[in-house]
């Protein structure tokens, strides 16, 4: 059986995971958050006392790492480091930075590639990340590049962090977003960029519901 795949790429805070989760529910596809996989590897590097930006420190750790991904009874994607469920731990801001740093290392990207592709071999998937349409699933049936201005993304992320009780301010969140954008787009290995055949959707001036409807319509057109 040939499974369908939908690739959603874009910068941090563009709303990829929120949109992809809703789309997955609507279409009955499996949602795969590939950022969570890089985050788990970033957390492992931090736990091992390695500098996440240093290839010579991270590469020798790869044979020791056991990353697993499983879908819980809640239907959510859980990440495991060894036997430990790190689903919540990988959302800490220092892990976001570590993930962005380890993800620039080519050996890390090669190490995680099959794990991502295997999911699409056995499921209809909506996968979000930075290089899904360009590298992981270049043959995806639908491709979206989801974007919004850095200010709009920072505003949304700031509101989300406040709601979760994280003590921060808008300027710090905006600076973090800009730094991550620069790292994710500026790296040599699989940089963030729009696939030629991806459809761009900019949500700067749209509400969540408007963005979702726009995305759903675009994906349905591509799948048809
Ligand atoms: O989507 P996210 O913010 O959870 O991703 C965390 C980091 O992982 C992000 O800064 C870049 C990296 N990443 C990547 O390089 N390629 C992917 N397919 C997904 C994430």
C-beta of 52 in contact with ligand 1 (< 6 A): no
Quote the CA–CA distance of 114 and 69 in Å, as a whole number: 13
**Domain tally for the chain?**
1
Instruction: Specify the pLDDT at position 160.
Output: 86
Run of H or E residues at 69: strand 67-71
Run of H or E residues at 19: helix 16-27
Question: Residue 171: how many CB atoms within 10 A of its CB?
Answer: 10
Q: Could you tell which of 35, 79, 86, 179 is best to mutate to test the pocket of ligand 1, judged by most ligand atoms within 8 Å of the CB?
A: 35
Quote the CA–CA distance of 60 and 47 in Å, as a whole number: 14
Give 100 Cα–ligand 1 centroid separation in angstroms.
6
CATH number of residue 195's parent domain = 3.40.50.300
- Domain containing 106 equals 5-223
Task: Look at residues 115, 124, 107 and name the one whose alpha carbon lies nearest to residue 31.
Answer: 124
- The minimum-distance atom of ligand 1 relative to the CA of 184 is 11
Give the mean pLDDT per block of 10 residues along the chain (224 residues).
92 92 95 96 98 97 95 89 95 91 96 94 95 96 96 93 88 94 91 95 92 95 94
b/e 48-84 (16+ beta carbons within 10 angstroms → b): eebebbeeeebeebeeeeebebeeeeeeebebebeee
Question: Residue 30: how many CB atoms within 10 A of its CB?
Answer: 18
Task: Look at residues 121, 119, 135 and name the one whose alpha carbon lies nearest to residue 198.
Answer: 135
Instruction: Specify the pLDDT at position 1.
Output: 66
Quote the CA–CA distance of 153 and 157 in Å, as a whole number: 6
């Amino acid at each position: 059986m040939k499974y369908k795949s939908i690739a959603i790429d874009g910068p941090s805070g563009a709303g990829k995971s929120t949109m992809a989760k809703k789309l997955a529910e609507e279409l009955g596809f499996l949602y795969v958050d590939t950022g969570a996989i890089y985050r788990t590897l970033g957390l492992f590097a931090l736990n091992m006392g390695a500098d996440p930006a240093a290839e010579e420190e991270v590469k020798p750790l790869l044979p020791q790492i056991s990353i697993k991904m499983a879908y819980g009874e809640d239907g959510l994607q859980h990440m495991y480091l060894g036997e430990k469920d790190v689903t919540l731990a990988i959302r800490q801001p220092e892990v976001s930075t570590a993930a962005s740093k380890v993800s620039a290392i080519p050996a890390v990207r090669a190490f995680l590639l099959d794990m991502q592709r295997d999911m699409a071999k056995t499921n209809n998937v909506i996968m979000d990340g930075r290089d899904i349409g360009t590298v992981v699933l270049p043959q995806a049936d639908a491709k979206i590049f989801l974007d919004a201005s850095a200010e709009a993304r920072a505003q949304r992320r700031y509101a989300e962090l406040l709601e979760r009780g994280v003590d921060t301010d808008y300027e710090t969140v905006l600076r973090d977003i800009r730094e991550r954008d620069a790292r994710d787009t500026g790296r040599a290995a699989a940089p963030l960029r729009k696939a030629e055949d991806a459809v761009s959707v900019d949500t700067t001036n749209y509400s969540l519901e408007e963005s979702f409807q726009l995305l759903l319509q675009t994906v349905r057109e591509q799948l048809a």
